[in-house]
Amino acid sequence: MSKTIFQKIIDKEIPSEVVYEDELVIAIKDVNPVAPVHLLIIPKKCIPTLNDLTKEDTNTVGRMIEIAKDLAKEFNIHKTGYRTVFNCNDDGGQTVYHIHLHLIGGRKMNWPPG
Ligand code: AMP
């Protein structure tokens, strides 16, 4: 199976703007931001979609959400608010098949999403 763009970023084969990294997770700036703050929190383990999660991923996913919370504070959107999104498969708008948590903020967002 060929590497996803995120696996290439994790393996440092292509550049990205890294804002956080540890042994489980990397967080980068989205190359095509939809808001003033748009970060992606990505597990280092390649899990294609949320449907592929197993019990052994529970700690990693919890860590991803904790990092999103910390980055929201670091990027100063924690008080105004923000959105965290996992897109899944085609109807969910997923384009990269390596799960990632979008952290989006810095402007008012609509609900329901389009
Ligand atoms: P999704 O549509 O939920 O799969 O989100 C994929 C996201 O990855 C999109 O918001 C893209 O803009 C972003 N993206 C794609 N390639 C890169 C890249 N090389 N560096 C940073 N973000 C990327």
CATH number for the domain spanning 78: value is 3.30.428.10
Q: Counting atoms of ligand 1 from 1, which one is nearest the CA of 29?
A: 21
Tens-place pLDDT, residues 80-94: 999 999 999 999 999
Considering the domain boundaries, does residue 112 fall inside one?
A: no
* Residue 63: domain span: 5-105
Local confidence band at 19 (pLDDT 50, 70, 90 cut-offs): very high
What number is the average pLDDT over the span 40-55? 98
What number is the average pLDDT over the span 3-9? 97
What pLDDT is stored for residue 114 in this prediction? 83
Considering the domain boundaries, does residue 111 fall inside one?
A: no
pTM: 0.98
Please name every residue paired with 42 in a beta bridge, in sequence order, or none if there are none: 26
Considering the domain boundaries, does residue 85 fall inside one?
A: yes
Considering the domain boundaries, does residue 114 fall inside one?
A: no
What number is the average pLDDT over the span 54-78? 98
Considering the domain boundaries, does residue 27 fall inside one?
A: yes
Considering the domain boundaries, does residue 96 fall inside one?
A: yes
List Cβ neighbours of 86 (8 Å cut-off, separation of 6 or more): 50, 92, 99, 100, 101, 102
Considering the domain boundaries, does residue 42 fall inside one?
A: yes
For 50, counting Cβ atoms within 10 Å of its Cβ (0-12 exposed, 13-18 middle, 19+ buried), the class is middle
Chain CA centroid to CA 19, Å: 12
Nearest Cα to 27, choosing from 114, 107, 103? 103
What number is the average pLDDT over the span 7-22? 98
- In 3-state terms, what secondary structure has residue 104? strand
Ligand 1 pocket, 54 CB below 6 A? no
Ligand 1 pocket, 5 CB below 6 A? yes
Q: Is 98 annotated as catalytic?
A: no
4, 31, 41, 85, best to mutate for ligand 1 pocket (most atoms within 8 Å of CB): 31
Which residue shows structure tokens 């897109």? 87
Considering the domain boundaries, does residue 55 fall inside one?
A: yes
**Structural domains of the chain, count:** 1
Kindly list the distances between the CA atom of residue 95 and the CA atoms of 3, 63, 78, 99, in Å, as whole numbers in the listed order: 14, 23, 27, 10
Measured by CA distance, the residue closest to atom 1 of ligand 1 is 94
Q: Counting atoms of ligand 1 from 1, which one is nearest the CA of 96?
A: 4
Eight-class DSSP state of 51:
G
Contact 83, 33 (CB under 8 A): no
Catalytic residue among 38, 98, 100, 102: 100
What number is the average pLDDT over the span 97-105? 98
